[in-house]
Amino acid sequence: MRQNTRCVLFDLYGTLVDIRTDEEDPAVWQAMAWELSLRGKAWTPDALRIAYDGACRREEARMRKDGPLPEIDILRVWSALADTDTEQAAVIARTFRAMTLRRLRLFPGAKETLEALSRRGIAVCLLSNAQAAFTRPELRLLGIEACFDRLWLSSDLGMKKPAPQLFRLPERDGFKADGCVMVGNDDVCDCGGAAAVGMRSLYIHTEQSPARPDHLPDGCREIPSVGDVPDAI
């Protein structure tokens, strides 16, 4: 795949970061109902869970009017549920994230890979279906925020992969698709999205990946781990 690579785009969760969350745990909703009650907005745990799911669906339906593959901003959801402003909604959202997280760690070789590419003069970008309210603090916590030249998060952009518009973002910085490589653990969202705009990709199958595909998209090949990226491009 070594072909004048100037920019490498990485997915985050399941590719660079080994993560596990549990939003089904009743204790999460009990704690969140108590948190909102302390803020003057009384909810029972069951009612809050139902309202949360409904608010997410309504927000997605609202955004879908503007185009396919919409991505909501979770701050709008918590702002509505808590009847508060965005700043306080961010605090609530981070509390929710902390309550649901079961595992958050870098895959072996992840940071070393990012640093190795940068030393070679390759632009390193993040293109992730992720909520900025969670992801930006977690990048700092994991010590990799400074490793990226660009951060493109779906909640900031209002759409999610595999929307072709997202894979054309490097063009704004002068990078043509054939000079970029997408690295991800999802054959459709990451590799299929890249293929749709003529971009090469590397597929890594991890615990967070969908079922292993029978065939990978055009211009894609599988590698064992994120640590293999520098040699694969």
Question: Into which CATH architecture does domain 7-16+107-232 fall?
Answer: 3-Layer(aba) Sandwich (3.40)
Cα distances from 60 to residues 65, 71, 134, in angstroms, run 9, 7, 18
How distant is the alpha carbon of residue 194 from its chain centre?
A: 16
- The length of the chain, given as a count of residues: 233
Residue 2: predicted pLDDT: 53
Residue 69: predicted pLDDT: 87
- Does pLDDT of 196 surpass 70? yes
Distance between CA 44 and CA 3 in Å, rounded?
A: 57
The model carries a pTM of 0.94
Q: What is the pLDDT of residues 72-130, one digit of tens each?
A: 999 999 999 999 999 999 999 999 999 999 999 999 999 999 999 999 999 999 999 99
Domain boundary assignment for the chain:
7-16+107-232, 21-102
Report which DSSP code applies to 224.
S
Residue 64: predicted pLDDT: 85
Distance between CA 57 and CA 72 in Å, rounded?
A: 9
pLDDT > 90 fraction of the chain, expressed in percent and rounded: 95
Four-CA torsion 50, 56, 57, 62, nearest 10 degrees? 140
